[in-house]
C-alpha cells in the first residue's frame, strides 16, 4: 500500500510516471513469458490460418514499429512518423523469413524506445501537448493510450501462444482453481 499522494502535485506526476513504466514492464514480461513457451515455427504461424489472424511475430513487429514511431522524439514530433509503414507490419511472414532471435531483437529495440522516452520525462512534462496522427494529447493521455494499445496486443500474444500450446501451457497468472490459495498467500505478504 502506498501513502496518499495529492492529485496534481509533482509527487502525483512522478508516481504516475513510475507506475506507467512499471505497468509497461509487466506487460513486456507477460508477453515474453508467452513467447518463451512457443516453438520457433509457432511464432510465425497465424492461428486459424486466415488472412485476418496475426501470428505472434506479426504482433511483435507491429508493436515494435509502433514503439519506434510513437516514442522517438516523443515530445517534439508527431507520434506517427512519416517513414513508418504500418500496413507492412501486418503482412504475414514467409516461411524462413525470420528467426526467434531476430524477432526478439526487434522486440527489445522497440521497448528501448519506450523506456528511454519515459525515463527522460519529468513530472512537469505530463501536462505538455504531443500529437499522434495530428491529434493533440497531453503527455499523460499519450502514455495511457500506449499502455492500452500494448496491453491489447500483449493479450493477443498470450492468447495465441496459449492456443497453439494447447494442453502444454504453463499459466502466466493465477491458475484455474487456485484463486483462494493465491489470495491466502497474498494476505500473508
DSSP string spanning 144-180? HHHHHHHHHHHHHHHHHHHHHHGGG---SSSPTT-HH
E-strand stretches of the chain: 129-132, 135-138
Q: How far is CA 133 from CA 77, 81, 90, in A?
A: 10, 9, 19
Average pLDDT over the chain, rounded to an integer = 91
Q: Give the angle subtended at the CA of 130 by the CAs of 128 and 132, to the nearest 5°.
A: 155
Residue 175 pLDDT more than 80? no
* Higher pLDDT pick, 173 / 14: 14
Phi-psi region of 122 (alpha: psi -120 to 50; beta: other; left: phi over 0): beta
pLDDT of residue 78: 98
Tell me: the pLDDT tens digits for 77-91?
999 999 999 999 999
Residue 1 pLDDT more than 50? no
Distance CA 142, CA 145 (A): 5
Phi-psi region of 155 (alpha: psi -120 to 50; beta: other; left: phi over 0): alpha
Q: Which of 9-18, 42-51, 134-143 has the highest mean pLDDT?
A: 134-143
Distance CA 154, CA 26 (A): 10
Predicted confidence band of residue 165 (pLDDT cuts 50, 70, 90): confident
User: Which domains are delineated in the chain?
Assistant: 10-187 (1.20.120.450)
Q: Is the pTM of this model over 0.75?
A: yes
Predicted confidence band of residue 112 (pLDDT cuts 50, 70, 90): very high
- Side-chain half-sphere CA neighbours of 44 within 13 A: 15
Q: Give the angle subtended at the CA of 139 by the CAs of 78 and 56, to the nearest 5°.
A: 70
Nearest alpha carbon to residue 61 among 25, 97, 21: 97
pLDDT of residue 130: 98
pLDDT of residue 150: 98
- Judge whether 81 and 68 are in contact, CB under 8 Å: yes
Amino acid at each position: 500500500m502506498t501513502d496518499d499522494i495529492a492529485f496534481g502535485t509533482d509527487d502525483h506526476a512522478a508516481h504516475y510516471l513510475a507506475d506507467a513504466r512499471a505497468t509497461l514492464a509487466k506487460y513486456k514480461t507477460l508477453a515474453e513469458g508467452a513467447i518463451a513457451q512457443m516453438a520457433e515455427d509457432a511464432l510465425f504461424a497465424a492461428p486459424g490460418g486466415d488472412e485476418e489472424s496475426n501470428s505472434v511475430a506479426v504482433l511483435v513487429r507491429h508493436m515494435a514499429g509502433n514503439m519506434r514511431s510513437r516514442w522517438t522524439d516523443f515530445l517534439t514530433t508527431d507520434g506517427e512518423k512519416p517513414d513508418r509503414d504500418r500496413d507492412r507490419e501486418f503482412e504475414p511472414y514467409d516461411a524462413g523469413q525470420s528467426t526467434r532471435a531476430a524477432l526478439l531483437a526487434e522486440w527489445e529495440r522497440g521497448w528501448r524506445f519506450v523506456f528511454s522516452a519515459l525515463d527522460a520525462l519529468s513530472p512537469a512534462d505530463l501536462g505538455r501537448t504531443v500529437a499522434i496522427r495530428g491529434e493533440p494529447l497531453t503527455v499523460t493521455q499519450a502514455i495511457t493510450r500506449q499502455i492500452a494499445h500494448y496491453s491489447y496486443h500483449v493479450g493477443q500474444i498470450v492468447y495465441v501462444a496459449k492456443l497453439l500450446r494447447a494442453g502444454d501451457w504453463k499459466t502466466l497468472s493465477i491458475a484455474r482453481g487456485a484463486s483462494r490459495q493465491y489470495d491466502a498467500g497474498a494476505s500473508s505478504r
